[in-house]
Chains A and B, each alone.
Chain A
Amino acid sequence: MSKETYDVVIVGAGIVGAACADVFATRGLRVVVVDRDVVGSGATAAGMGHIVVMDDSDAQFALTNYSQRLWHELRPDLPEDVEYEQSGTIWVGADEEEMAEVHRKREYYQKRGVAVEVMDVCHLKEAEPNLRDGLAGGLLVPGDAVLYPPCAARFLITRAQQRGAKLRLGASVVQISEGSVRLSDGQEVAGGIIVNAAGANAAELTAGIDVKKRKGHLVITDRYPGFLRHQLVELGYLKSAHSVSRDSVAFNVQPRRTGQILIGSSRQYGAEHKEVDQVMLARMVRRAQEYMPALGSMSAVRVWTGFRAATPDKLPLIGPCPGYKSVFLATGHEGLGITTSLGTAKLLVDQVTGSKPEIAVEPYLPSRTAKEYAHA
């Protein structure tokens, strides 16, 4: 069978693979993206779609802040169906302990040039009247946005295709080797470099990388325009999302342009099946109702699950894959892949082409994990 040859073979047409294809194609490389399903069919379609600045670590801040800037720059080019809305995020503080976190967060963001605003309880209630009484306040991050990820991925892929990239759908990659990938239909596709952007499935293709599936549930309601105006996240989220082993839920809701409300979130390790877990779902919805009691009278139209690609230090893997010469990684984005896809693509292509990256790449190099594990 004939062998197609490209400069770059990208495995995975999720938002990360799509963003990488776009940047590689822009820099004049011959690119092919392969995916077993359609564009954005994995975690990209399953996730909420927020463009957020986060501060779990300095490295996470650097990548999310850089990526958010890239999204802001891209915004004028985004088609309507991407539904980009700069709704802002409010980190909701339930008590004085969480308000201390609000103030710490404000200082951290302000010091680094991110506009934020502390809300007292009256201001919070005015901004989001459907939050329950008795909360303490919050932190508004006005630059945060939401979008519809599958259409964003499709836009990036389409733009890459206009710049010469090829897209091969319908056959899964069964093996990644030096300089080529083998597809389930028997075809081999050769490339000067291979990029593993297979999200939560990445570890099946390049052995030895520490990317685990972290299951999540989401609910979407019928249309209730005006009920919710900002993305809301409980500050307790930090406690639950940080836990690397326990199953957890956190209050996180998003307004969509349709007036629908996305309700999340849950996190589970070791749950390999995509079936809805009724116990987790009930916990998640109860948590949401604790913050917004009126959610309880709403009609949900769909519930689904997806798998985040989780790493031990909650930072993605961007760069050369340990143990290979021509294989690179762009995975491990956990719950932030929509935001960080654009920054990831730039940092990866900069490494491949030897260009100077705009932010330091070291915190995201896959070799960092290998080093840590050498000590373990």
Chain B
Amino acid sequence: MPSEFTVRVNGALVSVSAGATVAVAMVIAGQPCRNSVMGEPRGPLCGMGICFECRAVVNGIPHSRTCQLLCEPDMEVKTDE
């Protein structure tokens, strides 16, 4: 795996270092991981897989906990609605 590569967050390319979590990519992109049932934007809170606030759609799989997933080249990430 290259030391730097890009992933796509809500359509925009984001450059990340190898070893970065998907949550980091979403923060870099300035995108919420998910929008709550009441429509509030949410992002990583606990950073250790417990709070479930960082869920997003990763490569088509909804409710993926982005703080527990490492970025991979060409990953497709979307805000979980």
- What is the minimal beta-carbon distance from A301 to any residue of chain B, in angstroms? 8
- The answer, yes or no, to whether A277 is at the interface (CB within 8 Å) is no
- The answer, yes or no, to whether A297 is at the interface (CB within 8 Å) is yes
Cα–Cα, bound, A258→B63 (Å) = 14
- What is the minimal beta-carbon distance from B80 to any residue of chain A, in angstroms? 9
- The answer, yes or no, to whether A313 is at the interface (CB within 8 Å) is no
- The answer, yes or no, to whether A187 is at the interface (CB within 8 Å) is no
- What is the minimal beta-carbon distance from A292 to any residue of chain B, in angstroms? 16
Q: Mark A232-257, 1 if CB is under 8 A from B, else 0.
A: 00000000000000000000000000
Interface residues of A in 93-107 (CB under 8 A from B): none
- The answer, yes or no, to whether A299 is at the interface (CB within 8 Å) is yes
- The answer, yes or no, to whether A222 is at the interface (CB within 8 Å) is yes
- The answer, yes or no, to whether A224 is at the interface (CB within 8 Å) is yes
Cα–Cα, bound, A224→B60 (Å) = 12
- What is the minimal beta-carbon distance from A324 to any residue of chain B, in angstroms? 49
- The answer, yes or no, to whether B20 is at the interface (CB within 8 Å) is no
Question: Which residue in chain B gives the minimum CB-CB distance to A221?
Answer: B63
- The answer, yes or no, to whether B62 is at the interface (CB within 8 Å) is yes
Cα–Cα, bound, A361→B4 (Å) = 75
Question: Which residue in chain A gives the minimum CB-CB distance to B65?
Answer: A299
Q: Which residues of A contact B62 (CB under 8 A)?
A: 222-224
Interface residues of B in 7-50 (CB under 8 A from A): 37
Q: Which residues of A contact B37 (CB under 8 A)?
A: 223, 258
Per DSSP, are chain A's interface residues mostly helix, strand or loop, or mixed?
A: loop
Q: Which residues of B contact A299 (CB under 8 A)?
A: 63
What is the interface residue range for chain A against chain B? under 10
Cα–Cα, bound, A222→B61 (Å) = 12
- What is the minimal beta-carbon distance from A295 to any residue of chain B, in angstroms? 13
- What is the minimal beta-carbon distance from A107 to any residue of chain B, in angstroms? 41
Most chain-A Cβ atoms within 10 A of its Cβ — which of B37, B55, B61, B63?
B63
Question: Which residue in chain B gives the minimum CB-CB distance to A222?
Answer: B63
Cα–Cα, bound, A299→B64 (Å) = 8
- What is the minimal beta-carbon distance from B72 to any residue of chain A, in angstroms? 17
Cα–Cα, bound, A180→B60 (Å) = 61
Q: Which residues of A contact B61 (CB under 8 A)?
A: 297
Cα–Cα, bound, A297→B62 (Å) = 9
Cα–Cα, bound, A46→B63 (Å) = 25
Cα–Cα, bound, A299→B63 (Å) = 7
Interface residues of B in 50-81 (CB under 8 A from A): 55, 61-63
Q: Which residues of B contact A298 (CB under 8 A)?
A: 63
Q: Which residues of B contact A297 (CB under 8 A)?
A: 61
Cα–Cα, bound, A297→B64 (Å) = 10
- What is the minimal beta-carbon distance from B35 to any residue of chain A, in angstroms? 12
Interface residues of A in 289-309 (CB under 8 A from B): 297-299
Cα–Cα, bound, A222→B63 (Å) = 8
- What is the minimal beta-carbon distance from A299 to any residue of chain B, in angstroms? 5
Cα–Cα, bound, A174→B27 (Å) = 58
Cα–Cα, bound, A298→B62 (Å) = 8
- What is the minimal beta-carbon distance from B33 to any residue of chain A, in angstroms? 14
Cα–Cα, bound, A298→B55 (Å) = 13
Q: Which residues of A contact B55 (CB under 8 A)?
A: 222
Cα–Cα, bound, A356→B2 (Å) = 81
Most chain-A Cβ atoms within 10 A of its Cβ — which of B37, B55, B61, B62?
B62
- What is the minimal beta-carbon distance from A300 to any residue of chain B, in angstroms? 10
Question: Which residue in chain B gives the minimum CB-CB distance to A258?
Answer: B37
Question: Which residue in chain B gives the minimum CB-CB distance to A298?
Answer: B63
Q: Which residues of B contact A224 (CB under 8 A)?
A: 62-63
Q: Which residues of B contact A222 (CB under 8 A)?
A: 55, 62-63
Cα–Cα, bound, A223→B52 (Å) = 13
Chain A residues in contact with chain B, CB under 8 A?
A: 222-224, 258, 297-299
Chain B residues in contact with chain A, CB under 8 A?
A: 37, 55, 61-63
Would you give 12 A-B contacts (Cβ < 8 Å), ordered by A?
Answer: A222-B55, A222-B62, A222-B63, A223-B37, A223-B62, A223-B63, A224-B62, A224-B63, A258-B37, A297-B61, A298-B63, A299-B63
Q: A224-B62, A298-B63 are in contact. List 10 more A-B contacts (CB 8 A).
A: A222-B55, A222-B62, A222-B63, A223-B37, A223-B62, A223-B63, A224-B63, A258-B37, A297-B61, A299-B63
